[in-house]
Amino acid sequence: MACVTRIGEWRWPAAGGCLAAAAVAEAVLRAGGPGSALPLALVLDVSATLPLVLLRGPAAAPGASGGSGGHGPAAAATITVAAVAASLLHRGAALAATAALLAVWAVLARRRVLRRRAAADAADASRRAVEHTLLEHTARGERARIARELHDVVAHHISMISVQAETARLAVPGMPADGAERLLAIGDTARTALTEMRRLLGVLREDAGGPDGAPDRRPQPGLQQLLDLIDEARDGSGAAARLIVSGPVAALDPGVELTAYRIVQEALTNARRHAPGAAVDVELAYTGEGLRLAVRDNGPGPAAPAVPGGHGLPGMRERVAAVGGELRTGAGPVGGFAVEAVLPAASPDAHRAAVPGAPAGTAR
């Protein structure tokens, strides 16, 4: 292979030397012997052929030293001018010069085609890489969204089943043993289902790799459904739960309302799971620029250290980040656990939608 490469590198120098020798013979023959025109004919014919040696290098590597990107254009220009002058001097086409002229421009044209083809191949490869990256990020974002919706919706209702089954088993006096065992089995099944769902969510989030960048715009619950959500939480756990609204109620983007609803839903689920029986306050404060949301309970507060593997708080952070807000979770000001979020009136690149609100200062 190396031998073939070296032969290719010396092909054009050899051709240039042979054509230069032929050009010398042609100049002597056509000049009619020694005379005043012979030196000029020799100079022109040699100048029209010998520059082919500058094309040294394989034609397939146009960017290499000595290729068309280096001395090739200069050699072509020299050969063209000298070939035209030699043809005029000989009053006819200079054969060796014409052969060199055709050769040099054929080489330059081929190398130009190869260079453009290589550039097109590189651009196509880059485009395919970008498309693959975008497709991968889109798929990861969709998996993250699915995981978040599974956690926020399905896990919430399964948790309610477990809590209600346990509450019914303990709160109903005189329940037959068979009924108590069935309720206990329902609670155990619900907890097993939650465990399996957390495992599935872990797989989805590992595949997703990170949060997606856009909130869902399909019709979904908003702030109008908060009262129903709090009533459901109160009936399921038997603990006190209030909704407190303050400030001038303003229209919020549907994506922001969905985010607020999911935060409250997840916070209530966490309160039932980690602080059963604790009272919960849900506060909505309209500030004119957006919404301040707080969910606080009077339970024992955050565990230390936190239990790893949960998906509720990461899902909250993803939702809040998607609409351009801020989230804080941790111990409440006077104990218990608090989830506080600051949400804008409209999420980025979203349309504004008017939402009827409850009167300010009401409490449930």
Q: How confident is the model over 230-241, as pLDDT tens digits?
A: 888 888 777 888
CA–CA dist 280, 177 (Å, integer): 33
**What pLDDT was estimated at residue 311?**
60
Within 8 A by CB and 6+ apart from 340, the residues are 292, 293, 294, 295, 327, 328, 329
Average pLDDT, integer, range 266-278: 86
Could you tell me which residue, 55 or 215, shows the higher pLDDT? 55
CATH number of the domain at 221-364, please? 3.30.565.10
pLDDT per residue as tens digits for the range 76-111: 888 888 888 877 777 777 788 888 888 888 888 888
pLDDT of residue 354: 39
For CA atoms 323, 326, 329, 331, the dihedral sign is negative
pLDDT, tens digit (0-9, with 9 covering 90-100), for 300-346: 877 654 444 456 788 788 888 888 899 999 888 888 899 999 999 87
| CB-based contact 112:68 (threshold 8 Å) | yes
Per-residue model confidence (pLDDT) at position 90: 74
Q: Where are the domains of the chain?
A: 2-124, 221-364
- Sequence-separated (6 or more) residues with CB below 8 Å from residue 132: none
How high is the pLDDT of residue 310? Answer: 55
Cα 364 from Cα 269, distance rounded (Å): 18
Residue 341's pLDDT is what?
A: 94
Enter the pTM of the model. Answer: 0.42
Quick one: pLDDT at residue 214?
42
Q: What is the 3-state secondary structure (H, E, C) of 2-51?
A: HHHHHHHHCHHHHHHHHHHHHHHHHHHHHHCCCCCHHHHHHHHHHHCCHH
Return the pLDDT at 167.
80
pLDDT number for residue 42: 78
Highest mean pLDDT pick, 222-231, 291-300, 345-354: 291-300
Under 8 Å between Cβ of 226 and 264: yes
CA separation, residue 29 to residues 35, 80, 82, 249 (Å): 12, 22, 18, 104
